[in-house]
Amino acid sequence: MSKKKPTTFGERIRQLREGLELPQRKVAALLDIDASLFAKYERNERQPSKELIIKMASILKTGSEALIREALTDKFAYQILEEDADRRILRAAEDKVEYLKTNGKF
């Protein structure tokens, strides 16, 4: 059983854009943002808002949930790297999410 290679949000939107043969400037224009800002998203130098991710998904003909998940996992991964944390932090966070869900805290 082969495991899917992880990608970053930027890598994923670049793959999708190139698969549709769209230049960065065209996607940026459709998103009503500067092409240099879109390039920063592809290089993982900036993170777009959820609303912008939803617009990207539509333009890039993919599911918005998948792109949102990709962006969120990037945020978590970068935070863990910055804090030099380990898997115990992830397990504790999962436990906390379950606690919050079951106790009506969210």
Burial state string for 72-106 with b = 16 or more CB within 10 A and e = fewer than 16: eebeeeeeeeeeeeeeeeeeeeeeeeeeeeeeeee
Total number of domains constituting the chain: 1
Confidence of residue 77 (pLDDT cuts 50, 70, 90): confident
CATH number at residue 19: 1.10.260.40
Residue 2 lies in a domain: no
Confidence of residue 3 (pLDDT cuts 50, 70, 90): low
The range of the structural domain enclosing residue 68 comes to 9-102
Whole-number pLDDT of residue 103: 86
- Residue 17 one-letter amino acid: R
Residue 48 lies in a domain: yes
What is the chain's Cα-based Rg?
16
Q: pTM of the predicted model, to two decimals?
A: 0.79
Residue 81 lies in a domain: yes
What pLDDT digit, counting tens, does each position of 36-61 carry? 999 999 999 999 999 999 999 999 99
Is pLDDT at 104 greater than 90 in this prediction? no
